[in-house]
Structure 1
Amino acid sequence: MQPTPTSIACDSLTNRKDWSFAERHGLLLVGISPIVANLIGSAFNILYNQQQIWPILTEAQRERFDLCWQLFNLFVYPVAVACWAAPLIWLRNIHRAMLRGEQVDQVALSAAQRTVINLPWWILIVAGVSWLVCIPVFPAALATVPGKLSPAVVWNLVTSFVTASLIAITHSFFAVELVSQRTLYPVFFQQTSPAHVPGAVPLNITARGILWALSAVVSPIVSLVLLLVVPDASHQTPGFGIAVGLVAIAFGLTTAWMLGKLVAVPVRQLKDASLRVSEGDLDVRVNLQRADDFGPLIDGFNGMVEGLQERERLQETFGRHVGQEAARQILQQGEGLVGNEQEITVMFVDVRNFTEHSSKHSPQEVVAALNIFFRGAVETIENHGGMVNKFLGDGFMALFGIGVQPTNHALQAVTAAQQLFCCLGDVTSELELAGWPGLQIGVGINTGPAIVGSIGSPKRQEYTAIGDTVNVASRVESLTKILGHRLLITGNTKNLLPAETPCLPLPPQAVKGKGVPVQVFGIAEE
């Protein structure tokens, strides 16, 4: 019984309304796709019979031969056409439902998908039986005519039907496969891949090469060999041998073209897609639906690109939380707790009057105002080679000099700090609208050795810097409130700046945790 569309959900369906003409009439196009190959095979057979067989038949045998092919065409070919059309008719209702975007029973859909993939084998069976049954039928029919049947007639009949059948059968297979992939696969495999359909028997690359050889090589060679051993009653074998060779060349080129469509196209698309991926384009996909060896390869390639895209997305998301440079460092060092001593420059930035402002505004308003400042601050830090390592509620800590490339990280940090004040002025109007007019900051910078890397427990780690250099930078930032300078640096940082950098010496300051006062300098904010 033919399955019909039902209301059972099927994950393979989508409601597409932009089907092409070929996709809407795919069953018809697949149905007529073997016609050309069989007509040409029949034309070759008729020409061969006229040139090689007809002259060596008796009058009675000619009459029997005419009656035989007429009856054969009247009964056998209609049966063959009906057999070929049967699965296409069976697929019609499901095909229409898929075009309309209706939900189809999963069992019926799986059976239809399996049938679509196996259609080339079905035409191979139908056409093969139809053609090869001629070999015993015609000699048997001629043998019933009174008189002796010449062995040359039998040899010529075998040559005629073998050559014509090889031409028709192999090209019918390739034609059905090619048209099915273009017209039926997009409809029946809208959300699923045809590469893993249970019960389907797609032609692999090795078998495809063998079938091509049968069509383009074995068929003409067998024909020519048979011509050599057949007695030539009409003395036309040399000329007809040339004709066979020309037919072989023509069909060899035709087969090569179809084989190129089936093999070269996916190879070329995979190559082009690989080049685009190597250039950083992770949006590329190979949009070919194949059930043969290329199916898993294409699925694997697309899955690989999706994985790379997901990894890039995760890295980008990860980078937004820990900083892009920190993300790169973490990925490079791999898993585990790793910390290395490096000379870096540490910057602490603090937002003034945060507690007072927070007590008068809602948390949403406070966060909105802070994000206005942080948006430009992070971009400024990263543009100057630094990384915002952590946000501290009302401020942040930034690190300069992280990475393998040597840089003047002290100068980068001071330049970035000066630019922060410029950025703060650029967003004055936005801050006023957000309810925090006159937002001010203080910046403290120190340079020295620190342990940089992933620190924490095996279950929870943080990429950061620790050490006396970090502590001093934090203390120097606190001094900005006391000394009345919004941008302070230590002597260690000043020693790495160009000599012409204007620095205002300030009295050494005692800071918590240091036995001796720390030399600090004020830097102009612009």
Structure 2
Amino acid sequence: MKVSPPKTLPATVTPRNPSQSPLWLQLLGVGLLPILPQVLVSAFNIWYNITHIYPLLTAAQLAAFLESVKWFNLTVYPIGIAAWVYILSSIFLVCRQLRQVTLDADGTVRRFCILPTLQARPRFHGKLIQARRRSINLPWWSILIIGSGNLLGLPIFILTLLLHPDPLNPQVLIDLPISLLIGTLMSVSQVFLLVELLSERVLYPILFENSQPAEQTGIIHLSLLWRGILLLISNGLCPILALLLLSISPYRSQQDALFAMGVAAVSVIFGLSSAWIVSILVREPVEALKTAAIATAAGHFNQQIRLLRADEFGPLINEFNHMLRELQEKQLIEETFGRHVGRQAALEILQRDAGVGGIEQEVTVMFADLRNFTQRCVDISPQTAIHLLNLFLTAMVTIVEDEHQGMVNKFLGDGFMAIFGVGYPANHGLMAIQAGVKMLHALEDINATLAQDQHLPLKMGIGIHTGPAVVGSIGSPQRLEYTAIGDTVNLASRVESLTKTVGVPLLFTDATAQTLPQDYAKRSLPPQNVKGQPEAIAIFSLPELG
């Protein structure tokens, strides 16, 4: 595994793009659109009462019943409307303070959030928390108001008929409650889903500009399970009960077939509407999570899912975003860390236990050094010297680490030390020699570039040795260095120095030669004495290097 620089990807989001229509118009839509299902169901209730309930009543009972309906509508419905308007207006006032809307010269809507300033005011902060809770609980408020408005009339209407002196047909006590209950259940499910969708689209982007609805306290959310049960009752059970009620009614009407077709049509409309809304509420987070998961698997961590949800998807999205932030931080640490100690070294340090210590293993150590670069720096400016070093080291590090799985362990002025075999134990001797050959070819390309700028060519020597070394974090608990120590490292450095004596740019020892394939072409050179070794060591080069 290599440490790679952070990969960027446009954030996986469903953008918070509230409509560019005026805020009051958006709130008006939130307030009025949910009334449509109630109006439709009420129309069918009235139709059913006229065709099936009224014929079961005497003229006096019908007059008393209609009188009770009139007074009920004149008292209860205004109270429900006032409660609904009060809740929406309290949310609207906070939204208007949070979002200032102006128009550019071309008519483009620009919104300026003044949330940080307003949140500093304790009084407004309390209103903001209240508005957030009400926006999340708004679907519950809607069905509470509508459900109460429908069901409160049931005992009033029944009591009115029971107290009337004329005898009451018992069928009324069955048909009237069932029709009201069926209509109420069908309407509240549609209203709940519609208000939930509108709240997420209109209110959440304003009220939760810098927070998450799922983190809000004092809220009640409808789980996916109960949302499914609600849909089953509304779109399946209620139409069946309505048709069953129609079939067992003792009063047969020529309009029964037409009424049954109407019930079926309303059921289809509500079913399609519910399926569409639920598909939006469920499909969006699922698709966003799927897209983000695929991007994360590909190594793209610079993203966030910005869906605002108060149901089970809210905590799931929050935790997924938290995971992405941690992965991005880890990737940034590895990438930044890798720039200072080497990519492979960074991974080895992060994967092992922290602290001082190392393990002994067989590695191949390479030392590379520019010839006479220190003397050359006397005749050039420091900026030019740094430019030449960066040009050289950039090409060499790429060859060692990216192309041959090595680890540039430390820079040594005008050279460096590299280790092969840490994390990649197989064929590390061959990889080191191939890297050395590629480095010499790359130096020729660098010299061709320098010649165009009238610079003298660079020369370098490469020494390679294979053997056991202790590899790990060495130093003190306050200051550690990941490196390799041992006689193998010292001998590799001595071999690099021999390149000046022998006059060959790349040398490697017999220990490294033994790791090469038997048919690998190599050229034996006379044994050489080096400091620290009791006997002359066998050294090798490559035929193409002269």
The structural deviation recorded for 1:210 is 4.4
Matched, 1:102 2:113: yes
> Hey, what's the Cα distance between the residues in 2 that align with 1:302 and 1:462?
34
Equivalent position of 1:137 in the other structure: 156
Q: Deviation at 1:142?
A: 4.5
Asked whether the 8 Å contact 2:61–2:166 carries over to 1, the reply is: no
More displaced stretch, 467-476 vs 398-407: 398-407
Q: Give the AA of the match of 2:405.
A: G
> In the TM superposition, what are the counterparts of 1:120-269 in structure 2 within 5 Å?
120-142=139-161, 147-217=166-236, 219-220=238-239, 223=242, 232-234=250-252, 251-252=270-271, 254-269=273-288
Shift in CA distance, 464/435, structure 1 to aligned 2, threshold 3 Å: farther
Cα displacement string for residues 391-450 of structure 1 (whole angstroms, at most 9, x for unaligned residues): 12221011223334522x333322322322332232337657999643332221222232
1: distance between equivalents of 2:299 and 2:21? 35
2:531 to 490, 502, 512: 512
Pairwise CA distance, 1:233:
3.4
1:289-332 deviation per Cα after TM superposition (whole angstroms, max 9, x unaligned): 10122111111011112212222222222223333333333344
Structure 2 unmatched runs, 5+? 1-14, 102-110, 120-124
**3-state SS of paired residue (1:291):** coil
Q: How far does residue 124 in structure 1 lie from its aligned partner after superposition?
A: 1.5
Of residues 329, 335, 339, the one that matches 1:310 is 329
d(CA) in 1 for partners of 2:430 and 2:394? 22
Shift of 1:18: 6.5
Match in the other structure for 1:493: 512
Query: What is the CA–CA distance in structure 2 between the aligned matches of 1:492 and 1:150, rounded to whole Å?
Result: 109
Runs (5+) with no aligned partner, structure 1:
1-15
Q: Indicate how the Cα distance of structure 1 residues 315 and 22 shifts in structure 2: closer, same or farther if over 3 A, else same.
A: farther
Q: Does the Cα contact within 8 Å between 2:522 and 2:540 map onto a contact in 1?
A: no
In 1, the alpha carbon distance for the partners of 2:413 and 2:53 equals 99
Contact 1:51 1:236 (8 Å CA) reproduced: no
Contact 2:361 2:470 in 1 (8 A): yes
Deviations 1:470-507 (A, max 9, x none): 1111011122233333322223334444556352623x
**Contact persistence 1:480–1:488 (CA under 8 A):** yes
Checking the alignment, whether the CA contact within 8 Å between 1:365 and 1:435 is kept in structure 2 is: no
Q: Do the aligned residues in 2 keep the contact of 1:159 with 1:227 (CA within 8 Å)? A: no
Give, as a single letter, the amino acid of the residue that structure 2 aligns with 1:298: I
Aligned partners of 1:368 and 1:434 also within 8 Å: no
2:147 aligned counterpart, secondary structure: helix
Post-superposition shift, 1:121?
Answer: 1.4
Alignment of 1:113-124 (within 5 A): 113-124=132-143
Q: Is 1:31 the equivalent of 2:42?
A: no
Distance change >3 Å, CA 522–CA 162, structure 1 → 2: closer
Q: Is the 8 A contact 2:529 2:537 kept in 1?
A: yes
Q: Mark the CA change 1:334 to 1:153 in structure 2 (over 3 Å): closer, same or farther.
A: same
CA 1:23–1:204 in 2, change beyond 3 Å: closer, same or farther? farther
Q: Which residue of 2 aligns with 1:289?
A: 308
Structure 2 counterpart of 1:170, one-letter code: S
Q: Check 1:151–1:241 CA distance in 2 against 1; reply closer, same or farther (3 A cut).
A: farther
* Amino acid in structure 2 at the alignment position of 1:40: L
Alignment check: 8 A CA contact 1:55 1:234 kept: no
Asked whether 1:390 is paired with 2:410, we answer: yes
Q: Distance between the aligned counterparts of 2:453 and 2:130, measured in 1?
A: 63
Aligned to 1:56: 56
Match of 1:469 among 483, 488, 496: 488
Residue identity in the other structure for 1:420: M
Return the offset for 1:194: 0.9
Q: Which residue of 2 aligns with 1:20?
A: 19
Mapped to 1, the partners of 2:28 and 2:444 lie a distance apart of 71
Amino acid at match of 2:223: N
| Structure 2 counterpart of 1:102, one-letter code | C
**1:320-399 correspondence runs (5 A):** 320-335=339-354, 339-358=358-377, 364-382=383-401, 383-399=403-419
**CA distance, structure 1, for counterparts of residue 523 and residue 296 of structure 2:** 50
- Which structure has more relative contact order (CA 8 Å, sep 6+)? It is 2
Does the 8 Å CA contact 1:410/1:493 hold for their aligned counterparts? yes
Corresponding position of 2:523: 503
State the distance in 1 between where 2:436 and 2:444 align. 13
Secondary structure of the structure 1 residue equivalent to 2:422: coil
**Residue type of the partner of 1:94?**
V
Structure-1 separation of matches of 2:379 and 2:73: 97
Question: Which residue of 2 is the match for residue 478 of structure 1?
Answer: 497
What is the rounded CA distance, in whole Å, between the counterparts of 2:228 and 2:128 in structure 1? Answer: 31
Cα separation, 1, equivalents of 2:313 and 2:55: 50
Q: Determine what percentage of the aligned residue pairs are the same residue.
A: 43
Aligned-pair CA distance for 1:115: 1.9
In 1, are the aligned partners of 2:16 and 2:306 still within 8 Å (CA)? no
Q: Partner residue of 2:440?
A: 421
Q: In the aligned structure 2, how far is the partner of 1:192 from the partner of 1:361?
A: 57
Q: Deviations over 1:237-275 (max 9, x none)?
A: 985678657755664554344334333542343344334
1:226 to partner: Cα distance? 6.1
Moved more, 54-63 or 377-386: 54-63
Letter in 1 for 2:60: A
Query: Residue 23 of structure 1 contacts residue 187 of structure 1 at CA under 8 Å; is this kept in 2?
Result: no
Q: Confirm whether residue 402 of structure 1 aligns to residue 422 of structure 2.
A: yes
Counterpart residue number, 2:122: none
Q: How far apart in 1 are the matches of 2:385 and 2:472?
A: 32
C-alpha separation in 2, matches of 1:113 and 1:76: 27
TM-score (ref. length: structure 1): 0.84
Shift of 1:362: 6.0
Structure 2 residue identity aligned to 1:182: R
- Out of 409-418 and 243-252, give the one that drifted further: 243-252
Q: Please give the alpha-carbon distance, in whole angstroms, between the structure 2 residues aligned to 1:516 and 1:249.
A: 96
For 2:251, give the aligned amino acid. Answer: A
- Find the residue that maps to 2:417 and give its secondary structure: strand
Count, aligned residues: 508
Quote how far apart the aligned CAs of 1:127 are.
0.7
